[in-house]
Structure 1
Amino acid sequence: MNVIAMSIRRAFALPLLLLACSSASAADTAPPAVTAVKAAHMLDVRSGALIDNAVVLISGERITAAGSKLAIPAGAQVIDLGNKTLLPGLIDMHTHLTNDPQDSGYSVVAKSVPRATLTGAKNARLTLQAGFTTVRDVGADAYTDIGLRDAINDGDVPGPRMAASGPPLSITGGHCDDTMHAPEYKLTALGVADGVDEALKVTRRNIKYGADVIKICATGGVLSFGDDPRTSQYTLEELKAIISDAHRLGRKAAAHAHGGDGIKLAVLAGIDSIEHGSYIDDEGIKLMKEHKTWLVPTLYLGDWLIENAEAIKLPKPLLEKAKVVLPTARVNIGRAIKAGVPIAFGTDAAVYPHGLNAREFGVLVKLGMTPIQAIRTATLNASELLGWTDRVGTIEAGKFADLIAVDGEPLKDVKTLESVQWVMKGGAVVK
């Protein structure tokens, strides 16, 4: 063989050898076809029963089987959690991942969009580590929540599955308009829309830029200047236009609503969920039950915000509102729970630190829920409100392998969920 021929053979042989080595290395490190997660107990959130000697079989991102003493296929990777209790990954239906508690009040005007985005990446990780594998983010400036959702979906940053709203709709000077700047700056929030035509345009723009859900500020709020949480802001005609267009375009709609009139108008307009519901009255309770409208109370924040108002430099007018509205909310929400209004779990995390989301469970139990009822608000109920019952909310074949594990017995002490020990999202262990 001449020198040229030998050189040609070597030139082809080396890449082939490298390819063969690479293929062998990939085969050696390829994940097992099946992962088996074992635990002493597993909570069936549908029945409320604890299943002993639990085994969950997982292929890729999805659960293939779950039950007691299931046979584990040969070659499966086994994760043995010992005496822990397995539950479905938790769902928080009211978060603001791109904000922190110190952003309340005037400090929010100094926070740039890039800074808010990086805040969101931090808080997404904290939320996932706390056992919340799915969230609905209901209100962020400049579509930062939608960018965060996409980064999580692309694997760029760790975080929960997200349904995101983008900028919430607000009347001029309403709760979700920026009331912190002086008028000479001529600044309004991106979601401000007055009248039916403007409201439809902003709704469609949010959907254009990726909104999964439309958030509407239907009443005044606590952390805004110059408005009253008890009063409605959008008219029935405006609400009907926004909600019907959202539904026509395949999105659900959520209404920030503290006051009785605002709650009733949003329900009559076809809203999917009422957020907060602080001043809900008997008529509002009746309407929500008749229309099967979900209530997403956000209650633990009442403890944290008032205790930490000085530390986060909460302006006095906002603190004075908080001291009136938040204790009132517990009384009225307690009545709504006892009356049978459908409840989904939400926290308003950002008003208090992300990662403390599970402290909401203890408040729900104090207001009359059993531990299993409280847990269902963050699993079965939340997945139904999201429209994701085919994906999350239970440990069942076909669902995403979103699992958490805790020590202790959550059916006896729901506060065990405040200390999640192990988290899996989509078949990958993240804690």
Structure 2
Amino acid sequence: MPATAGRRTLAILLFLAPAAAPAADAVLHCGKLFDSRSGRMLAERTVTVEDGRVAAVAAGYLPAPPAGGDARYVDLRAHTCLPGWTDLHVHMGSESSAQSYSEGFRLDPVDFAFRAVGYAEKTLMAGFTSVRDLGGEVSPHLRDAINQGLVKGPRIFAAGKSIATTGGHADPTNGYNSMLSHLMGPPGPTEGVINSVEDARQAVRQRYKDGSDVIKITATGGVLSYARSGDAPQFMTDEIRAIVETANDYGYRVAAHAHGTEGMKRAVEGGVTSIEHGTHMSDEVMRLMKQHGTWYVPTIYAGRFVADKAKEDGYFPEIVRPKAATIGAQIQGTFAKAYKAGVPIAFGTDMGVGPHGDNAREFLYMVEAGMPAAEALQAATVHAAEVLGVDDQGVIEAGRRADIIALAADPLEDIEAVLDVRFVMKDGEVFRDPDTR
């Protein structure tokens, strides 16, 4: 055979041969893959991972790396792959129980820290590779321990101590008797309690000093605080604006806990990034949120949980119980109205109110209230990343973080599939693995 003909034959054979997977740390064969940008489910994809990032996503199944080689092969052909989920509202340092209100007086911070280690691992194993912790002094330290590889857990965006007003939802001295209050003195901006524009700026700067990633304010009363009102406004608009302006100087975004209408209006007009809970959200507030591009993080799970627990004698103090019964029961209905109105929605559970690791049940409640499954999944992936202000997660694409999970079934066909997570990878490291060789 002439040399030129041989070269042509070799070129044709190379063209027809199956493409080889690029050199990688891991190769995943996904039976289905959720495209979080389009909300569509794609069939038969190969995902290659290198240095903690997605190196490539290819149609079909590229050849698996040889057994015993450097690259790890994960057979997920019977599974559905998705970007790792983000829960935008958790409290990793606590978990609700009938003893919660007394434990603050009996336990030390180190006790809550040890508990948080277990909560973090449960959350990661449930498919949540990132969380935004909105209030708790444990979370910045837990974040650092996870980043150092000392414990297993999701990537944490930590608020640290929430910012409140005197007597507000996050005033740490609520419920103290007069002797304790006298001994401790009134809390101030260092403790996250403000009463002026100047205090507001100082409180944000203290959160910066403490190493927070995001700012959380309690714009109205709350359900579980030891106080009578669950929805009264607790900041003036100029105080919220001062918080947001100062936060912007440090590259922070601001999340606002809010149940009452007036408090929500002030928070939206003050420039917060997101409204959390939003129980009594009115049509006017919905219009304002759409106008300002304010996100809604509904936390339906927490609402349902506290409404159920309010029926149990002794679970909540009597000052809390009526708030839990009335406010908690309304959140899912508010979510349904906000979704129909076109308010931008992202995923959050307020986990820590309920048991950590049960976060994915929020998907079921979102779908039950009228949101299509694909949009609920987007709320916990691309939309959550947008709320955080990051562009390297929430999608399975080349160059993005290798945060990948796999379910036993397709959640677009049955949303309860989200409760059966079989595979978890965060930053290219496998934490839960069904079948490997």
Normalised to the residue count of structure 1, the TM-score between the two structures is 0.89
Do 1:51 and 1:67's aligned partners in 2 also have CA atoms closer than 8 Å? no
Distance 1:117 1:317 in 2: 28
SS at match of 1:67: strand
Hey, what does 2:8 align to over in structure 1?
Answer: none
Do 2:227 and 2:319's aligned partners in 1 also have CA atoms closer than 8 Å? no
- Cα deviation, residue 311, structure 1: 8.3
Hey, what does 2:19 align to over in structure 1?
Answer: none
- Cα deviation, residue 72, structure 1: 4.4
Hey, what does 1:166 align to over in structure 2?
Answer: 160
Task: Within 5 Å, give how 1:107-122 maps onto structure 2.
Answer: 107-122=103-118
SS at match of 1:317: coil
Hey, what does 2:398 align to over in structure 1?
Answer: 397
Task: State the AA in 2 paired with 1:320.
Answer: P
In structure 1, which of residues 128, 153, 177 is the aligned counterpart of residue 147 of structure 2? 153
Distance 2:143 2:305 in 1: 27
SS at match of 1:300: helix
Q: Does residue 201 of structure 1 match 2:202?
A: yes
Q: Does residue 83 of structure 1 match 2:78?
A: yes
SS at match of 2:78: coil
Q: Report how many aligned residue pairs link the two structures.
A: 397
Hey, what does 1:71 align to over in structure 2?
Answer: 62
Do 2:228 and 2:320's aligned partners in 1 also have CA atoms closer than 8 Å? no
- Cα deviation, residue 80, structure 1: 0.7
Hey, what does 2:356 align to over in structure 1?
Answer: 354
Do 2:82 and 2:406's aligned partners in 1 also have CA atoms closer than 8 Å? yes
Distance 1:59 1:294 in 2: 33
Give the alignment's Cα RMSD to 1 decimal.
1.6
Of 37-46 and 311-320, more deviation after overlay is shown by 311-320
Normalised to the residue count of structure 2, the TM-score between the two structures is 0.88
In structure 2, which of residues 120, 123, 134 is the aligned counterpart of residue 124 of structure 1? 120
Relative distance call for 1:58 and 1:259 in structure 2 (3 A) is same
Distance 1:287 1:302 in 2: 24
Q: Does residue 93 of structure 1 match 2:88?
A: yes
Instruction: Structure 1: give runs of 5+ residues left out of the alignment.
Output: 1-31
- Cα deviation, residue 331, structure 1: 2.0
Task: Within 5 Å, give how 1:379-398 maps onto structure 2.
Answer: 379-389=381-391, 391-398=392-399
Q: Does residue 175 of structure 1 match 2:169?
A: yes
In structure 2, which of residues 324, 327, 347 is the aligned counterpart of residue 325 of structure 1? 327
Task: State the AA in 2 paired with 1:232.
Answer: P
Do 2:306 and 2:325's aligned partners in 1 also have CA atoms closer than 8 Å? no
- Cα deviation, residue 144, structure 1: 1.5
Task: Within 5 Å, give how 1:260-279 maps onto structure 2.
Answer: 260-279=261-280
- Describe the superposition over 1:219-238 as per-residue Cα deviations: whole angstroms up to 9, x where unpaired: 00000122422210010111
Distance 1:199 1:107 in 2: 29
Distance 2:57 2:144 in 1: 30
- Cα deviation, residue 302, structure 1: 2.6
Distance 1:55 1:108 in 2: 49
- Cα deviation, residue 248, structure 1: 1.5
Instruction: Structure 2: give runs of 5+ residues left out of the alignment.
Output: 1-22, 433-437
- Describe the superposition over 1:82-132 as per-residue Cα deviations: whole angstroms up to 9, x where unpaired: 310000000000000000112643433323211111121111111001000
SS at match of 2:300: coil
Hey, what does 1:300 align to over in structure 2?
Answer: 301
- Describe the superposition over 1:280-299 as per-residue Cα deviations: whole angstroms up to 9, x where unpaired: 00110000000010010011
